[in-house]
Amino acid sequence: MQLANFKDDYWQLRNGEESHRKNPVSFWIPELEKRKSLKVGDAAKVILEIECENDDGEIIIEGERGYVIVSEIIGSQYIGILDFQPACIERDQDDVYLRFGAEIPFSFEHVVDIDRPPEDYIEWQLAQKPERTWHKK
């Protein structure tokens, strides 16, 4: 499954393992085995890197941390449902993929924290039709 990249998607996920290697004291991530064994319903915190335009019309990269709810496991990769609205993207922009409820492909190296929401929230979130569906081929 192809992951998002700036060239095709105007956003990508930050590699949490690289960030941890560069700053091992200040940038903590969960142990590898936990990141590799997520289950449907787990909340994985990732960092989105999003191309945005500033007030001067220049393209800048905004970094936003937030959770995705694991909805599917495909081999060693995951599909998560974006569980927050990126602050640098207006919700009513129809031509933008990133929005609350969009499918986000990711792998264990992108996970910077793990949580487990209440079961009723998981059931609600996973019962929703995704706002945007990722191409899984």
61 vs 38: CA distance, rounded Å: 28
pLDDT value at 136 more than 90: no
Indicate whether 81 belongs to any domain.
yes
Percent residues over pLDDT 90 in the chain: 80
Output the pLDDT for position 137.
67
In a domain, 137, yes or no: no
Residue that the structure tokens 């019309």 belong to:
57
Q: How confident is the model at residue 14 (pLDDT cuts 50, 70, 90)?
A: very high
Say how far apart CA 9 and CA 14 lie, in whole Å: 14
Is residue 99 helix, strand or coil? coil
Quick check: is 132 in a domain?
Answer: no
Return d(Cα 23, Cα 124) in angstroms, integer.
37
pLDDT number for residue 57: 85
- Is residue 75 included in any domain, yes or no? yes
Report pLDDT for 92.
Answer: 72
133 phi and psi, to 5 degrees? -110, 130
Number of domains into which the chain is organized = 1
The three-state secondary structure class of 79 is: strand
Structural domain containing residue 75: 6-127
136 part of a folded domain:
no
Residue 133 falls within a domain, yes or no? no
Q: Is residue 134 in a domain?
A: no
Question: If you average pLDDT over every residue of the chain, what do you get?
Answer: 93
Residue pLDDT, tens place only, 55-92: 888 889 999 999 999 999 999 999 999 999 998 887 67
Determine, yes or no, domain membership for 70: yes
Q: Mean pLDDT across the stretch 95-112? A: 94
Using 50, 70 and 90 to split pLDDT, how confident is the model at 134? very high
Q: Provide the pLDDT confidence category of residue 37 given band limits of 50, 70 and 90.
A: very high
Q: How confident is the model at residue 52 (pLDDT cuts 50, 70, 90)?
A: confident
For tokens 């787990």, name the residue: 42
Q: Is the CB of residue 125 less than 8 Å from the CB of residue 83?
A: yes
Point out the least confidently predicted range of 71-75, 94-98, 99-103, 114-118: 94-98
